[in-house]
Amino acid sequence: MKFRLQLTTILILSYTFFSGNTYSATINKVALQEDLTEIISKIKHRYVYLERKKIDLQCIKNKYSKKIDAIKSSDQSILFFENILNEFYDNHVHLNTNTDASYRLSSPLYVQNLNGKEIITSVWQSQINNLNENIIGAEVLTFNQRSFNQAIEEFNLECADKDDPVVKEWIANKVLSGRYDQTRVLQLKLISGKKITLDIDELKLAKSNTLLSYHQSKNIGVIRINDSLGQNALIAQFDQALASLKDSKGIIIDLRNTNSGGNTYVARGIMGRFINKNLAYQKHAFTENYSGNMPVKRSWIETVSPRGTQYKGPVVILVGRWTGSMGEGMAIGFDAMGRAEIIGSKMSRLAGSVQGFPFNNSHFGFLLSTEELFHINGIAREKYIPANFVQSNDNTKDLVFQTAVNSIAAKTI
């Protein structure tokens, strides 16, 4: 059995999931039932978005308790709990392990239902190297030679309302994400009416062995974060990049490849290079409830402190659908501090700050959002939209980057 670790790591300092037992070849049904009870309890008491999800936990307990007798292997037990967390249609909520039959957390394409059709509205163009045809606006007709709408309808959720537009959009993109051990071949109908076949797994995503990359073009510095906001060593490398670009007339920080999130230590370390006094960058909120006592709401504003020599020139932050978790936190932080212009589209919309929890009877654990996060103006982070909203309609051109270049040029004439 292969495991691919899927961690989205905003505000996780370091979690190792310990347990006294693991599921053996002979599945312990009592242990499974205990862990089912445990995950439902943790969701009830710690998942900060439970009320707005409107998921009946009794439904989950009843439906999934009946499935336990059919579980025959460790892989099936993992998929069992994975399916439970899927009921909350929240990519920030997932196991800390998976199997070959697990769904990925995301796809390099994003679809939305427009006028009753499933339409590709975003493409991870900053990462894809070999997509030369514009597929934005294309209708997804089939997935692995089956009707895409049928695949959405057949996605297994027991308790969530699959007719809810938000749930349905999540399912559509989960289907596109696909299982690790299955193909992802689409038939698309382009805006022109032309039909093409696209194998998602044939798309070549840019890979980098460095935490960031940087260059200077026309006296504008460009720093691209390579999905490394959870790597503490990024701060020192960012300092080196900024030192090389210190005389540029403006800086573009590209956060469109931060899909895995990160931590606030790194984010504050980077943001601190652009300010000369303490500034607020985000708000936290959650409800404390100890041992059945009265729940009490708690909230606070987190600040960034100056660090090192301040870069004083104009700054632009690039964001998109694959700006996730701490990448989203940095975007709202730079915006809140008034220290950068944010350019791009909606982001990953991963809600809140996650915390890891172990199971008592198995070798893996799960992540739940336990704090809400807000822009200091009160907008929930997952609902933030850049003031300079740019939704590209052509994935063969980088309109977001060009808009940023034009913005800096206009500021430095």
- Using an 8 Å Cβ cutoff, are 142 and 187 in contact? yes
Strands annotated E in 97-138: 109-114, 117-123
Dump pLDDT digits (tens) for 302-354.
999 999 999 999 999 999 999 999 999 999 999 999 999 999 999 999 999 99
Contacts of 57 (CB under 8 A, 6+ apart): 40, 43, 44, 50
Report residue 23 CA to chain centroid gap.
30
- Report d(CA 74, CA 361) in Å as an integer: 12
Under CATH, which number does the domain 109-202 receive? 2.30.42.10
In the chain, which segments carry CATH 3.30.750.44?
A: 1-105+354-366
Exposed e or buried b per residue across 359-370, where buried means at least 16 C-beta atoms within 10 angstroms of its C-beta: bebbebbbbbbb
In the chain, which segments carry CATH 2.30.42.10?
A: 109-202
- Report d(CA 58, CA 316) in Å as an integer: 47
DSSP state of 190: -
Dump pLDDT digits (tens) for 65-109.
999 999 999 999 999 999 999 999 999 999 999 999 999 999 999
Dump pLDDT digits (tens) for 269-310.
999 999 999 999 999 998 887 777 888 889 999 999 999 999
Does the pTM of the predicted model rise above 0.85? yes
pLDDT of residue 12: 36
Superfamily of domain 212-347+384-411: 2-enoyl-CoA Hydratase; Chain A, domain 1 (3.90.226.10)
What are the respective helix, strand and coil percentages of the chain, to the nearest 5? 30, 25, 45
- Report d(CA 221, CA 240) in Å as an integer: 13
Looking at per-residue pLDDT, the higher value among 381 and 20 belongs to 381
CATH class for the domain made up of 1-105+354-366:
alpha beta
